Amino acid sequence: MIRKMELEQLSPMEIEQRSFAIIEEELAAQGICLCPEQAPIIKRCIHTTADFEYAFNLCFSPDALEKAHAAICKGASLVTDTTMALSGINKRALAQFGIQTYNFIADPDIIEKSRETGITRSALCMDKAAQLDTPMIYVIGNAPTALIRIYELYREQKIKPALVIGVPVGFVNVVQSKELIMQADVPYIVARGRKGGSNVAACICNALLYMIDNNRGY
């Protein structure tokens, strides 16, 4: 016997608004009080994943939001480790701030060098990004090797990130790569532990963009 289900008839924007209302209700029910400045980012991560653990594992350097907003408003560039992360970032919002985006994962020179050296393409992409003469926001949602290479390039004084979004997901070197970034003197937003993903990286970028143009009330 098929049980009758009650479905809400809502527009896409109404669905998003309703989802955030539910998130706020459940946070309140659990007695979780978010830092007001960080709340839009944390709630958007929860919205993307349906995982309330992001209320506890998302870590911000003391100056992360201030530095991120300044970099975005000045039109900093953005590089991702995956095409999935790049595809999830709101292109209209990026264009509004004149942000140039980069993803080198499928570039022939990156593929060839990875074959020759055994170094992951994601790590090599960070070397290529380091050659660009522009303030850079690094958005890492999949590859801990990319996050490790960012740390190494910073230690070698070859880059000075405007912001590192470090949310790779998985089991091998994931936790360690995030801890390295949090030890570096760089602005960061990091999902401590194993959780993350390209979708989470993209949603953090979107949250930062929406916070500045304030076109959504949550």
Smallest CA-to-CA distance from 75 within 93, 60, 61 is with 93
Q: Is the confidence at residue 151, as pLDDT, over 90?
A: yes
The active-site residue, picked from 47, 67, 121, 178, is 47
State how far the Cα of 53 lies from the Cα of 214, in Å rounded to an integer.
26
Torsion angle in degrees (nearest 10) through CA of 119, 145, 149, 112? 30
Find how far residue 206's CA is from the centre of its chain.
8
Predicted TM-score (pTM) of the model is 0.93
Is residue 69 part of the annotated active site? The answer reads: no
The pLDDT tens digits of the residues spanning 70-108 come to 999 999 999 999 999 999 999 999 999 999 999 999 999
State how far the Cα of 154 lies from the Cα of 149, in Å rounded to an integer.
8
CATH superfamily of 58-213: Cobalamin biosynthesis CobH/CbiC, precorrin-8X methylmutase (3.40.50.10230)
State how far the Cα of 152 lies from the Cα of 216, in Å rounded to an integer.
37
**Alpha carbons within 13 A on the beta-carbon side of 60:** 21
* Residue-level length of the chain: 218
Q: What residues are paired with 190 via a beta bridge? A: 59, 166
Task: Say which residue the tokens 């953090």 belong to.
Answer: 204
The tokens of 120 are what?
């992951």
State how far the Cα of 130 lies from the Cα of 216, in Å rounded to an integer.
33
Which helix (H) or strand (E) covers residue 93, if one does? Answer: helix 91-96
DSSP state of 104: -
Q: How far apart are the first and last CA of the chain?
A: 40
The pLDDT tens digits of the residues spanning 10-53 come to 888 888 889 999 999 999 999 999 999 999 999 999 999 999 99
What's the whole-number average pLDDT of the chain? 94
Q: Are strands 136-140 and 188-191 parallel, antiparallel or unpaired?
A: unpaired
pLDDT at 9: 82
Smallest CA-to-CA distance from 137 within 197, 88, 65 is with 65
Mean pLDDT of 48-75: 96
